[in-house]
Structure 1
Amino acid sequence: MPVLPHAQHAAPRSPIRGPALPIGVAVTAIGVLLSIGSLPSASSDAVPMPEPVAVLQVPTVQVGATTAADPCADPTVQEAVADGDDVATIAGFGGGRAFRDAVVAGNAPCVSLTDPARLWVVVNKSLPLDPPEYEPSDLASVPLQMTTPSGRVRTEVAAAVGAMADAAVEAGVGRIGANNGYRSYGLQVSTYDSHVRAQGQQGADAGSARPGHSEHQTGLAIDVVACGSGCGGLDGFGGTAQSDWVAAHAWEYGFIVRYEQVGTPVTGYAPEPWHLRYVGVDLAAAYHDGGYHTLEEFFGLPAAPDYGH
């Protein structure tokens, strides 16, 4: 599948008036304008007002920011991308918010939202995994009580969910366990087929991803459950103290609640308060602070409530 053409989904930008000037030239030009002299007072009737002076358009520049037009031109970003270091790549853009803004504006040609190896990959009903049978290379055991045999996720996800569960216990909200982590393409085939047999095609598509369209296959998704003397099921997670705490604090550990009720028209999935998607601390903070409810909205992508076939 080709790299997603972000420019097609970019938010409209204000037109640029004239070429951007180097900082030194811009500052000099401003000084020239200011040195012309004070304009006559508007209250004086004796001196006619001069013709308006054109205002110099000076580009906004952030100290320490990468090249505004193309952060991917920065050598630090290029090295991070080549090394597969997603955290360093996002930092090279200037943080989670700047990374998101550059992607949405179409100013990040080195970023592919369809690369399944990246933290920022978007998998939905219109964006399947490429290749369909993708398997992450760095899987580790989930350090929580499991209720299914699917107890692996990517290494950094395992560390993050373990830290989150420990924090929940310290906060007094109870233990968190896990139901599902990584699921292979083959396992997703049987999982989806079981939903079709039980609920029909339409019901299955509202609650289970078709093979090749599942976030679980990336190793970046995990379904969590509430545990007491034992662990409950997925349907019993919503409304628990653990669920409320996760909704409020998961972002601090790099997770977002991927399928919220408000996002159903965009994702095409029924609410799943248990389904957490790891995007890393920087992007999760930008997602939370920006008040987003779907990755599609976050990255300026179109809604994907239905499959294309």
Structure 2
Amino acid sequence: MPSTPHAQHAAPRSPIRGPALPIGIAVTAIGMLLSIASTPVTAVSAPVMPEPVTVMQVPSVLVGATPAVDPCTDPAVQKALGSGDDAAAIAGFGGGASFRDAVVAGNAPCISLSDPARIWVVVNKARPLEPADYAPANLAGVPLQMTTLSGQVRSDVAAAVGEMAEGAAAAGVGRVGANNGYRSYGLQVSTYDAHVRSQGQEGADAGSARPGHSEHQTGLALDVVACDGQCGGLDGFGATAQSAWVAEHAWEYGFVVRYEGVGTAVTGYAPEPWHLRYVGMELAAAYHDGGFHTLEEFFGLPAAPDYGH
């Protein structure tokens, strides 16, 4: 029988089962297989781990560091402040150096460097007394020979300067007297005005505090003189044996020489080797041991060489 038209034109059966892949896809697949086959074994080895980071390499703020304990929360410190016992308060901080460090670090919110009743008060040309007419409540006579009528200081200062004068005499350097102790706001007005009349405004500001800016008004400061036979004046004190001894030993009795020549750029005052400021035994020791020359630097305060007005 003759074959039918369908039988004559039937295509030969493909040996591959399923639909045929387009040529482009097939080529891509083959390429990928070849790439995987040719990849070195090392490419699939274990990943390299980063070096471990120790706790010391991480800032403390990131690891939940505990903030410094506020010494003001110590009941002993609170009690001392409440009773006006400045020495006990400083001891509660751990001593003079620790007290100073806490104040500078801002970790002593209960301590005000503006409180004129505290031995740590800082008075300068930028830090007036508050109130301006402040007067200390516990004044006592200076137990030294006086050359003016301003013969009072705070009772704790009087006791300390008496011991200092005894120490100087025992060391064989001669007697120490005093020129000025506490000066009221009103007396400071007349004192400063006298300096202005004799030296002019600029000269007065270099050697005398304006009213309301004087350490003498706190009762914590006094000017000492040398008394060999008779007492000398302030200007000649720096050349005496007493002055050299005071500069070296005053801190042992709780005093600092407030206005040294190296501190003039900070305080705005010419050198006054006779001007002693009482800060107590602990703070004076920290001041001396730390090599400080101004209270501004000691407490981390800005320099105050000029008045703000």
Same fold (TM over 0.5): yes
Bigger shift: residues 226-235 or 78-87: 78-87
Alignment deviations for residues 81-127 of structure 1 (CA, whole Å, 9 cap, x no partner): 11111001000000000000000000000000000000000000000
Task: Return the index of the structure with the highest Cα Rg.
Answer: 2
Alignment deviations for residues 36-86 of structure 1 (CA, whole Å, 9 cap, x no partner): xxxxxxxxxxxx99943522699xxxxxxxx93311011111111111110
Question: 2:262 maps to what in 1?
Answer: 262
Question: 1:206 maps to what in 2?
Answer: 206
Determine the C-alpha separation between the residues in 2 that align with 1:54 and 1:271: 53
Q: How does 1:278-297 map to 2 (within 5 A)?
A: 278-297=278-297
Determine the C-alpha separation between the residues in 2 that align with 1:68 and 1:242: 44
Determine the C-alpha separation between the residues in 1 that align with 2:207 and 2:50: 69
Q: How does 1:123-272 map to 2 (within 5 A)?
A: 123-272=123-272
Determine the C-alpha separation between the residues in 1 that align with 2:180 and 2:53: 65
Q: How does 1:62-101 map to 2 (within 5 A)?
A: 68-101=68-101
- Aligned AA (2:204): A
Q: Secondary structure at the match of 2:179?
A: strand
Superposition TM-score, scaled by structure 2 size:
0.80
Question: 2:117 maps to what in 1?
Answer: 117
Determine the C-alpha separation between the residues in 2 that align with 1:137 and 1:271: 30
Determine the C-alpha separation between the residues in 2 that align with 1:98 and 1:239: 36
Question: 1:6 maps to what in 2?
Answer: none
Question: 1:18 maps to what in 2?
Answer: none
- Aligned AA (1:252): E
- Aligned AA (2:279): V
Determine the C-alpha separation between the residues in 2 that align with 1:187 and 1:126: 21
Closer, same or farther: CA 68–183 of 1 in aligned 2, 3 Å: same
Q: Secondary structure at the match of 2:232?
A: coil
Gaps of 5+ in 2: 1-47, 59-66
Alignment deviations for residues 131-172 of structure 1 (CA, whole Å, 9 cap, x no partner): 000000000000000000000000010000000000100000
Determine the C-alpha separation between the residues in 2 that align with 1:72 and 1:57: 32
Q: Secondary structure at the match of 2:237?
A: coil
- Aligned AA (1:121): V
Query: Which structure shows the bigger proportion of residues in helix conformation?
Result: 2
Determine the C-alpha separation between the residues in 2 that align with 1:84 and 1:139: 15
Bigger shift: residues 75-84 or 121-130: 75-84
Question: 1:45 maps to what in 2?
Answer: none
Provide runs of 4+ in structure 1 moved above 6 Å.
none
Determine the C-alpha separation between the residues in 2 that align with 1:186 and 1:50: 74
- Aligned AA (1:286): A
Determine the C-alpha separation between the residues in 2 that align with 1:205 and 1:257: 19
Determine the C-alpha separation between the residues in 2 that align with 1:167 and 1:49: 71
Q: Secondary structure at the match of 2:275?
A: strand
What RMSD in Å do the two structures reach over aligned CA positions?
A: 1.9
Determine the C-alpha separation between the residues in 1 that align with 2:87 and 2:267: 26
- Aligned AA (2:254): G
Superposition TM-score, scaled by structure 1 size:
0.80
Q: Secondary structure at the match of 1:257?
A: strand
Question: 1:105 maps to what in 2?
Answer: 105
Aligned residues: 256
Determine the C-alpha separation between the residues in 2 that align with 1:100 and 1:136: 24
Determine the C-alpha separation between the residues in 2 that align with 1:139 and 1:277: 15
Q: CA offset at residue 301 of structure 1?
A: 0.2
Gaps of 5+ in 1: 1-47, 59-66
Q: Secondary structure at the match of 1:222?
A: strand
- Aligned AA (1:278): Y
